[in-house]
Amino acid sequence: MINFGKYSVLGVNVHAVDYEFAVQRIVAAAENKQPCSVSALAVHGVMTGFMDSVHLRRLNGLDLIVPDGQPVRMALKLIHKKKLPDRVYGPNLTLKVAQAFAARGLKVYLYGSRQEVLDNLVLNLQQRFPCLVIAGQEPSKFRRLSESERCELVSRIKLSGADAVLLGLGCPRQEVWAYEYRNLLSMPILAVGAAFDFFAGNVPQAPKILQDISLEWLYRLIQEPKRLWRRYLILNPIYVWNILLQYIGWRKFIPVMPDGNENIESFG
C-alpha cells in the first residue's frame, strides 16, 4: 500500500497513492459513517482548477484526489520525485471499490447521468458483483437544484441506507457536487466521471496500450471530437507547458484551500 502524501500539480493537491490505499480509505470512511469526498483527476480535471481559482479551492477541499491520468502521475514523478507504479484510474477504482463493498455488505447509491444509462449500469454491476447492494439510483436533472430539492435529495440518499455515493455528473460538476454534499451526507462520495458510461456499455474504453502510453485522450478525441476537441487540443498543451514551468521553478503553484465562500452551483 502506497501513500506518499499530497503534492501540488498546478496548485491542485493530488495524492500520490495507489489503488490499495484509496480503496482502504473509502471503505474505512463508509464503515465509520464519515465524509470522504474523492475524485480521480486527469489533465482536464487539474486544468479546471488551474483556470478557475474558486474551483481550485473546491478541489483542494476534497478529501482525496487521485492521479487518474498518466500525465498527472508523471507530474508527481517529475516535479516531486514520487514514483507510483501506476495511475489510479477512476473506472478501475470504481470496480475495486464495488468489489470491496460487495465483500463487506456495504451499499452504494448511484447518482447522475440518464435513467437508461443507470439501468444498464446497475445490470452490469450486479452481473459482475452479485453481492453488491445498490441502495438506490437517481438520474441527474441536468440543471441547478433548488434548496428544497437539494434537501430532499440528501434525505433520499440517507433513507436508502447507502454507505457511499457513486457520482457521475462529469467534470467539473461532479467535483462541485462532492464538495457541496460532503458534510451533508457524511459518507464517501466518489466522483467517477466516465465510469458510468463505460460500465453501462455506452462508451468504449481506450485499449490498455493507449492508456499506458498516455494516449487515452487521443482515443477519446476520435470517439467524440465535437465534445472533446477543446479539452484536449487546447488544454493539454497548456498543461504540459505549465508543468514544465513548475518543474524548472519558473512558476510556483501553491495550493489554495477553501474559505467557505466557493459559490456553490447546486447542480444535479
| pLDDT tens digits for range 77-117 | 999 999 999 999 999 999 999 999 999 999 999 999 999 99
Give the whole-angstrom CA distance, residue 266 versus residue 268: 6
Joined grid coordinates for residue 201: 456499455
Which pLDDT tens digit goes with each residue over 41-62? 999 999 999 999 999 999 999 9
| 42-51 CB burial, b ≥16 within 10 A, e <16 | bbbbbbbbbe
- What is this structure's pTM? 0.92
Q: What is the pLDDT of residue 260?
A: 64
pLDDT for res 223 = 75
Cβ-contact 201, 178 below 8 angstroms: no
Residue 31: other Cβ atoms inside 10 A: 12
pLDDT at 240: 95
Three-class secondary structure of residue 141 per DSSP: coil
pLDDT score, position 263: 59
Q: Which residues of the chain have pLDDT under 70?
A: 203, 260-267
DSSP at 267: B
pLDDT score, position 197: 84
Query: How far apart are the C-alpha atoms of 55 and 179, rounded to whole Å?
Result: 10
How far, CA to CA in Å, does 191 sit from each of 172, 182, 210?
10, 12, 23
How far is Cα 199 from Cα 131, in angstroms, rounded to an integer? 17
Residue pLDDT, tens place only, 230-241: 777 888 999 999
- Identify the pLDDT of residue 268: 75
What residues does each domain of the chain span? 3-248
